[in-house]
Structures are given as structure tokens and as C-alpha cells.
Amino acid sequence: MSLDRLTHYVSLDGAGGVEQQFVEFVRAARVQRRTDHTVVACGRQVHPLIRERLTEARAPVTFEKYAGAFKLPKWPATLRRHHQQRLLARQRPDAVVVWNRLRDSLDTIAAAGVERTVYWERGASWFAGDSPAKRRFLDEVQAVICNSHAARRMLELRWNYRGQTRVVLNALRPSLLPLAPVPVRQLPDDRPVTLGMVARLLPIKGVAIAIQALARLRRDGVETCLRIAGDGPEMDRLQRLAHGLGVAEYVIFEGLVADMPGFYAGIDLLVHPALREPFGQIAIEAGAYGVPSVVAAVDGLVEVIDDGVTGACIAPTVPLEDYLELGGSTTDLPPFVYDPERDVIDTPRLVDPARLARVVCAIIEAPGRYAAMSAAGIAAVEQRFVFDAHVRDALASIEAFVNTGRLNGEPAA
């Protein structure tokens, strides 16, 4: 059976990277397979920009918890259950894909049937909170696509998932690709080296660590500055930190940046000392523009950055208890992260700012090495993180599961 009709359960309240990735997946899948797509929105609304783009992709939207303008109550539970059954009976999909929703998905799998339900793990398994509903969903769902090896291991080690999994690495969506070939970058010799961060200003992104590293670099006589693209609730705290460290004039908070190609053209090195990162899409984006990355060796970041080749990976070693002293916050941090070196689930740790500064300095002092990293990053995006290949692999896996019961196309034992 070919994959002619696909229904997606996904939250689309915002218009961030995840939502944009989903829309471009639907567009590419329609071109590759001529598959009809329907969308069941799991939140309260669909962001107007996302709705417009789904309309352009001819992917009609319904709502999981709404019948018209009426929100279906949780009780009696049969109301929402029957609503989903009616939706899927009308849409008649060959397969149902649940995007990154461990909770509230039991009714979906009951309505669709385990034989045509695929769960796509993109970071939800890191979230705080355990519940019988999450455990039961993972007990029932038979097939999981993971956006990284780290996501697979988080499901297996933290949640004891024993079903079949397939890793389909994320890729750079077409709208983010450079419009022209990108030359290999060279370190500047007529201005200070510019570090860059692209992150929502949340404790989990480790922006305070980057500011601390910048302060150490400048104290050591390394002429650098830090440009930060992103906004968020930690803005005031981070600005106070930069002032307290005496580097406020060298830390530029740019807020939300519309011209990301222009941003990458203005930085030399991306730093991303995140505490958690199920994959690390931003490092691929930087690589597409020839910008090497220095990242935390946590979760899926080591699958994006080839240490010593496209950038550098630094193992986090500083206890989380030190975060407040370093100017960060421990609010809304995940209870666990994946340690790829030891293949274990552990509590979050911090990248040592002094180590981050030393690694950055070593790259700055080796122009030839820097240029080689830039070239390797461009090549990685062109060869490993190709969006059409990503979509093709995911669709083939889903189709194989529907037809054979196996994500990889092998017959069930």
C-alpha cells in the first residue's frame, strides 16, 4: 500500500522553528509522494502564519479538542474520544503521525489503531513530569521515529521504551538555505573576532555561560565581542550579568532577528553551551553559512558537530548548583539530560566558562584550522543534513511500518 493520506497530530500555536519545520516537511512530502496531508491541531489555535502556509500546502486543519468553536470538556472522556474517532473516520489516513506529544495521545492511538500510528520524538522525552498516561502511550505505540540518537536513548533509558525506533536526523529546511554558494570563511584580520549566539533567552540555553566566557577572553587580552540573536524572559538578568562583569559594551542583545543570513555574515564563531539540546538545529544553520560552532557535548549536539572537524564539543562538568553564582537561573530546567560519552541519563551540568574560553581562543589562534572547520561545516550541510533526504527517509519509514509492521521495512519476526 502506498502512503496516499497522512494525518498529523501537532501543536501549532506558535510560529517558531518547530512549526516552520513541520510546514516545510508537509510541503516537501507532497512534492515527493503526492501525499494528501491533514492536520489535527492539538493546541488552542493555529498561528496565522502557519495556517496560511498550510493552506498554501493544501493541508486542511481541524482541532483535537474543539468541535467548531466549542471546546470539548475532559469529562466525560468519551466526548473527546468519539470526536477523534469521527475525525479519523472522515480523513481515512493510511498513517497517523503524532509529533512530539507524549501526553494526551492515548485517544489518538485508540482512534487510529497501533498498526498505523507512528510517534515522532523531537524532545518531549526530556520534559519534566512523569504520568501513567505517558507510560501507557509508550507501552502501546509500536513505532517511534527519533530526530537523534540521543532522543532514542532518552526514550529507552529514561522511559524504558522497548518498541522499535528509527533515527531520522533533522535537516536544514529549504527556507534557511543560503541563496548563493557560501565561500569558506577566514578569520578577520582587521577587526575583533565576533562570537554569536542564537537562542531564546531561557536558562536552558546557557547564555550566561557564554557571557562569562567572553569576560574571560577579554581579561586575557583576546579582542572579542558577543552578538546574541533572541529574546526571552532572561533578558534583564543577562544584561545585569554583562554589566557586572564589565563587558556590557561587548555584548550586543539584538532581540528577534529577521535577517538571519545577515546575522551569520556578521559573526565568526557560534557558541552554544546549552544545558539540553535534543538535536541542535541551530548548529546546522550556522554551518550552512560557513560558521563553525563550539557547543556543549550533551544530548544530540555531538551528532550535529563533528568535534575537531566542523567545530568543537565541550563536555559539561560544572555542577548545576553553580549556575546562580555564574549569573544563570535554575528555573524550568529538565530533570535529566543524555550523556553521549557514557551513554547514560544524568542530571544537567554546565559547560565550564573557562574551558569554553580556552577552546574558543585555540580556534582563533589557528586560522588554518578555522578555515578547515568552515569548509567541513558547509560540506556537512550539503551532504548529511539534506532536507529532501530527511523527508524521504521519514516517509519511507512510515510507509514500511504501515505495510510490514517494521519501520525499516523488514518483516516482523
- Does residue 109 lie in a domain region? yes
| % the chain with pLDDT above 70 | 99
**pTM of the entire predicted model:** 0.95
Backbone phi, psi, residue 75, to 5°: -125, 140
Provide the residue range defining the domain that includes 158: 5-171+387-404
Domain identity same for 121 and 254: no
Domain identity same for 146 and 200: no
- Over residues 225-249, mean pLDDT: 97
- Does residue 409 lie in a domain region? no
Residue 413 has pLDDT above 60, yes or no: no
- Does residue 207 lie in a domain region? yes
Residues 154-191: tens digit of each pLDDT? 999 999 999 999 999 999 999 999 999 999 999 999 99
Interior/surface letters 366-394, b for 16+ CB within 10 angstroms, e for the rest: eeeebbbbbbbbbebbeebbebeebbbbb
Residue 6: the pLDDT is 98
Domain identity same for 153 and 271: no
- Over residues 50-67, mean pLDDT: 95
What counts of helices (H) and strands (E) characterise the chain? 14, 19
Domain identity same for 241 and 354: yes
Domain identity same for 210 and 266: yes
- Over residues 28-36, mean pLDDT: 93
Residue 411 has pLDDT above 50, yes or no: no
- Does residue 12 lie in a domain region? yes
Residues 287-335: tens digit of each pLDDT? 999 999 999 999 999 999 999 999 999 999 999 999 999 999 999 999 9
Residue 386 has pLDDT above 90, yes or no: yes
Q: Which of 191, 240, 206 is nearest to 330 (CA)?
A: 206
Domain identity same for 162 and 264: no
Q: For the beta carbon of residue 19, count every other beta carbon within 10 angstroms.
A: 20
Residue 409: the pLDDT is 64
- Does residue 336 lie in a domain region? yes
Residue 245: the pLDDT is 98
Q: Which residue has the higher pLDDT, 292 or 412?
A: 292
Domain identity same for 59 and 185: no
Give the CATH number, domain containing residue 265.
3.40.50.2000
Domain identity same for 259 and 144: no
Residue 348: the pLDDT is 97
Residue 172 DSSP code: B
Domain identity same for 359 and 393: no
Domain identity same for 357 and 241: yes
Domain identity same for 96 and 189: no
Residue 410: the pLDDT is 53
Q: Which of 224, 232, 225 is nearest to 206 (CA)?
A: 232
Domain identity same for 161 and 185: no
- Over residues 389-398, mean pLDDT: 97
Q: In total, how many domains does the chain have?
A: 2
Band of residue 2 on the pLDDT scale cut at 50, 70, 90: confident
